[in-house]
Chains A and B, each alone.
Chain A
Amino acid sequence: MFTRIIKTEWRNLFAEKSFLILAVFFAAVLVYGIYNTSSWIAQKSAENQNLIEKQEKDIAEKKEQVAKGYKGSTEPGNYVPDPSDPYTIGMGLYNAVLPFAPSAVFSLGQSDVLESNAGVSVATLQRTKADKKGFENPLSFLAGHFDLSFVMVYLLPLFILALSFNVLSGERENGILQILLSQPLKLKNLLTAKITAQFSLIFLLVLLAVLGGFLISGISLSAEGFWAKAFLWTVVVFAYMLFWFSLAVFINSYGYSSATNAVAAAAVWLILVLVLPSLLNILVSVIYPVPPRTETISAIRGVNLDMRRDGKKLLAEHYQDHPELMPKEGEKAFEDFGLAFVHIQREQKKRVVEVEERFAEQVANQQNLVQKLGLISPSVIAQEAFNEIAGTGLNRYRHFRLQVKEFDRQWTDFFLPRIYKMDSLTAKDFESIPRFEYEEESFSTIGSRVGIGVLILLIMSGVLMFLSFGKLKNYRLE
């Protein structure tokens, strides 16, 4: 009986023109979302690739110049820094790049807001390109993007509700329910069978459309770790879909008319997907307010030192503390304008790092709270999980920043002593200039963060189903 109802339900759905239109439309939207995300990723990856290549080319060029003995140019208006001076590369900007994960196509996430490259330098970033950024159109942040996760988080529930809001009320209004239940069939089983039929159909549709989208967009499916992430994604989608179907069942179990059910479903969707997350956002920023950014500025300006005015004194003090860094021609160092600048920059950097860390910590607190509080909203759970799987969320970015911080230390350890000692870089030294390479988080870390959300979704669905089945005992058939 159970399978027969499922088959009938499938047949009914396929016979219904509005379902077919909706299904085709939804599949098309999914494919477009994937295509859109993948072209965004391709564009950003190309930019990053370009950046790395230019950077490597630049270092290689300088190495060659050093090998040839070129010393730069001091002609006014045509200044070229000496490539063998460790100051030139060390105090300059090195870009540490966060590559997209192969699974990034699952959600564009925060990848438009969070910079995929971070500046590294002995100095502060204050005068580098890494600091003079932010040219994205602000308007593009306002609307957000039409990516796969938008389709899944916002539109999929609507598709589900459009299909299932009258799963019982519709049958009742057509008078079929009474006939059906005159057979040896329990209402509970009828409902379960119908929902199973609808669920399996949509789930299959989603998987097929997504696979089609991948093929059309030319995403490399063989990349390392892709299928594990894809599996995780499928699990999240399963749990998220289950929640919305359970909700439809719950609404139906009250026994109101289809029209009322439709309005109720729309209202619940609205509250869960639009209103609740923005209320949570407020709550999170009230509990962990991020200090005003003006503090970063005060930190930099708090170090009111001037090269021309304070340079000599600062350097004298510095070499007193660090006699091992004293250059061979010691006297010359006190005259050196550039070294005073290095010293001041180091002082400022210390302060800036302190403040930046305070900011990062507060945002990290917010993120941790979001991961907890977000558990009351299915759409926040899904969005966070998708970002997590795609590697476009705040967690992977934090992981990246930690590595950059460590790398910044390596970079400084390599260059700073050489700068203070006024050594010259030899062509051989160039080979040991450190390079940044991002190391991925382990699958189990990501899996466990996603797992909690999935668990909560399943529990929510279970509770809704349980409550509904309780109510069904009193369901009026007319």
Chain B
Amino acid sequence: MIAKIARKEFIECLRDGRFRWTALIILALLLVSLGLGWKNYSDTKREIDTAQAESRETWENQGERNPHSAGHFGVYAYKPKKPLSLVDSGLDNFSGSTIWVEAHYRNPAKHRQIEDATALQRFGELTAAGVLQLLLPLLIIFLVFDAFAGERTNGTLRQILSIGVKRSSLVFGKILGTTSALFLLLIPATIIGFLALAFATANESLLSSLPRFLLMCVGYLLYFGAFIGIALTVSAWASTTRLALIILLGFWIFTCLALPRLTNDIALNAHPMPSNKEFWDQIYEDMKEGVDGHNPSHVRVKELEEKLLKQYDVEKKEDLPVNFNALMLQQGEEHSNLLYTKRYDEIWNIYYSQERLQEYFGAVSPFLPIRSFSMAMAGTDLRHQKHFIDEVELYRREFVKMLNMDFANNSPTKDGYNYFVGKEVWKKAPKFKYVEPNTNWALQYEVWNIILLSIWCFGALGLSVFAANRMRVI
């Protein structure tokens, strides 16, 4: 019986002009967005690869310099584009992609694309994820809103039930029918998404992206399941099709449109950020007074001097065989490394608090958990950005230390900064190579969202069975 009902629903969907047109438009939008995502991915990847190579080349050919001057010249680290960003570009346009790696400063990631765009960008970028998260639920609503309410108004509901069809079969049939119709759209979209991914990536990274891609698909299925369940429930409960449609559209507006903005502002107010100036004023204060305010920098310098004089058994620092200036610089680095970690983590903890607060609202909106989960799988969320900037910071320390130690060990203090080296030293500097974290790493932060999505999906589908069992027939 379920199969029969499902088939009837399925065929009805296909014959319905509304479904055909909406589905076609959505499929077209999906294709366009995947194509754009693919182009964007390959363009950016090319740019970044070139820029990264260029940065290294400039570095190696900077000519003779004092290693510390070279530390100020620095190199640049570029955030690689993630293959799955072609499906969900997430925060890519809103977060910095370039970090200037130099001595003394842990620079923030810069060059957010949104700064070079017009206000149109704020209407939302056309991405596959956007289509799946915003438009597909609408398609589901249009498909399902009259599932029961329509049959009731037409009087067919009474007839069906009078011939002994179980209400639960009716629900399962409807779920199955609608889902199959949706799959007509989703399967080609998935295949094309997968092909785009395969074309965009080399074999190696395709393999590592595959689990993420599959998990993403599962996440979206749960999300769509939630909307099918909700739509069926409302359709069973509402007295007229019109009421069902209005309630469902209202729900969509609330969950997909209003709530993300609302929670964003609530989160920003609940966990305010320091301004840029406050942040750096604090850093400079820390540098001068010490991380905990107990060992100001001139005391630290004095201590280092005494320690070195004792170690090398000399009277004046001018007699030191190593370069005191360089060691003082390195000491400064070691100290600032601590405080940068502390202050940057403070900032990121504010981000995470804001994010968490938004995620709590996922209990009233399936849109929020799927948005987070999809970004996380694409590798375009906050955690991945933090991973990138942390890796760059580790690299920066290694890079600067190598330069300072070369300076310290190869020139005596009395030469001051008159120590120049060239290419052979620059070549020895470490290279930046970013390795993306694996799927498990990304999953560990997504437990809450996965639980929420599952509850939404199975809860809503369960509710629809419950609602159908209790619905009025006339």
Contact = CB atoms under 8 A, between A and B. Distances in A.
Interface of A: 29, 36, 39-40, 43, 47, 50-51, 54, 75-78, 109-110, 113-114, 127, 129, 131-146, 150, 154-155, 158, 162, 258-259, 262-263, 266-267, 270, 273-275, 277-282, 284-285, 290, 292-294, 296-298, 301, 304, 306-309, 359, 362-363, 366-367, 370, 374, 379-380, 383-384, 387, 393-394
A258 B261 contact: no
Interface in B323-370: 328, 347, 350-351, 354-355, 358
A138 B279 CA distance: 17
10 closest cross-chain pairs (CB), A and B: A77-B298, A277-B123, A293-B111, A138-B95, A138-B94, A141-B94, A294-B51, A143-B260, A143-B264, A281-B120
Nearest to A301: B58
A25 B204 CA distance: 53
B382 interface: yes
A128 to B, nearest CB: 9
A135 B98 contact: no
Contacts of B73: 301, 304, 306
The residue in B116, B280, B351, B385 that gathers the most chain A C-beta atoms within 10 A of its C-beta is B116
B462 interface: no
Contacts of A281: 117-118, 120-121, 123, 125-126
Given A78-B297, A290-B116, A134 B110 contact: yes
Interface in B119-147: 119-126, 130, 134-135, 138, 142, 146
Contacts of B215: none
A51 B277 contact: yes
Contacts of B262: 146
Contacts of B347: 135
Instruction: Tell me whether chain B's interface is mostly helix, strand or loop, or mixed.
Output: helix
A23 B371 CA distance: 31
Contacts of B138: 266, 270
A309 B63 contact: yes
A302 B134 CA distance: 45
B94 A76 contact: no
Nearest to B268: A140
Contact of B22 (A43, A162, A267, A304): A267
Given A77-B300, A278-B123, A294-B98, 8 more contacts: A129-B276, A132-B107, A132-B108, A136-B273, A155-B258, A258-B242, A281-B121, A281-B123
Interface in B393-431: 417, 420
A296 B373 CA distance: 34
The residue in B64, B265, B280 that gathers the most chain A C-beta atoms within 10 A of its C-beta is B265
A39 B358 CA distance: 20
B118 A278 contact: no
B105 interface: yes
Interface stretch (B164-172, B245-253, B444-452): B245-253
A138 B91 contact: yes
Contacts of A278: 120, 123-126, 130
A110 B120 contact: no
Nearest to B48: A294
Interface in B57-84: 58, 62-66, 69, 73, 76, 78
A275 B94 contact: no
Contacts of B355: 137, 139
20 contacts: A50-B277, A133-B108, A137-B351, A138-B94, A141-B94, A154-B257, A262-B246, A263-B142, A270-B135, A274-B123, A274-B135, A278-B126, A282-B36, A284-B120, A293-B111, A294-B50, A304-B58, A374-B120, A387-B119, A393-B119
